[in-house]
Amino acid sequence: MPVKNMTKKQIQTFFERLREQRPHPQTELNYSSPFELLIAVLLSAQATDVSVNKATDKLYPVANTAQAILNLGIDGLKEYIKTIGLYNSKAENVIKTCQILVDQYQGQIPETREQLEALPGVGRKTANVVLNTAFGQPTMAVDTHIFRVGNRTGLAVGKNVLEVEHRLIKVIPKEFIIDSHHWLILHGRYCCIARKPKCGECIVSDVCNWPDRFEFGAVKSIAIKNLS
Ligand code: SF4
């Protein structure tokens, strides 16, 4: 059965609940500057945040600027990140990115999508995370969790990540847009998980449109009341 799009009222309630649950949502990557965030996100492709944090917790006290990482050199950098998947190609991209930051931006992180996406290893998703998390822009980086939650719940149905991204930006009320990226990721990571979603303990099950939620423990009477 296709999932129905959520109504405005459902979306409003959905985000009010997520906000109530996590008033100040944060990325689970450790960082203390836009530069540290950019490098952490670049390293996190197809790797867990935990594995990235383990590496950067040692790397950043030694080198947390573009110039300092260039000074380490590619082999020096690899020593810190070799526990992260795909570390060889990531090390190359980090070094190339740091060189561009030093040559073109005085070591600072540029604040436009075009400039960010021109950096080696930085795609649309990474650019969106940096624009949103470091610079507070209303962008939406759609990862596997957000793609699933958007499609499953009827919040933002789309065939690919770009469709879901555009739909989310369109339907999420302004008051929630900055933090919605983190709320959706955390909801997808800990509750609306891929194989066995925890619908029985989900705080938005009454406004979710996923037809199978009752098989996973959502309570029917409450849902019907809040959907009408
Ligand atoms: S009810 Fe289930 S499917 Fe719907 S948002 Fe909650 S966990 Fe996800």
Nearest CA to ligand 1 atom 8: 192
The predicted-structure confidence for 104-145, as pLDDT tens digits, reads as follows: 999 999 999 999 999 999 999 999 999 999 999 999 999 999
Query: Could you tell me the pTM of the whole model?
Result: 0.87
Q: Where are the alpha helices (DSSP H) in 144-194?
A: 144-153, 161-171, 174-190
**Where along the chain do its domains lie?**
8-24+140-216, 34-135
Q: Where are the alpha helices (DSSP H) in 32-121?
A: 34-43, 49-62, 66-81, 87-105, 113-117
Q: What is the pLDDT of residue 224?
A: 56
Q: Say which DSSP state 154 is in.
A: S
Q: Both tokens of residue 47? A: 């790797």
Q: Which residues are catalytic?
A: 125, 143
Q: What is the pLDDT of residue 220?
A: 80
What percent helix, strand, coil does the chain show, rounded to 5?
65, 0, 35
CA of 60 to the centre of ligand 1 (A): 37
Nearest CA to ligand 1 atom 2: 199
CATH match for 34-135 among 1.10.340.30, 3.40.50.720, 1.10.630.10, 3.40.50.300:
1.10.340.30
pLDDT < 50 stretches in the chain = none
Distance CA 3, CA 154 (A): 6
8-24+140-216: what fold?
Endonuclease Iii, domain 2 (1.10.1670)
Q: What is the pLDDT of residue 83?
A: 95
Distance CA 54, CA 16 (A): 33
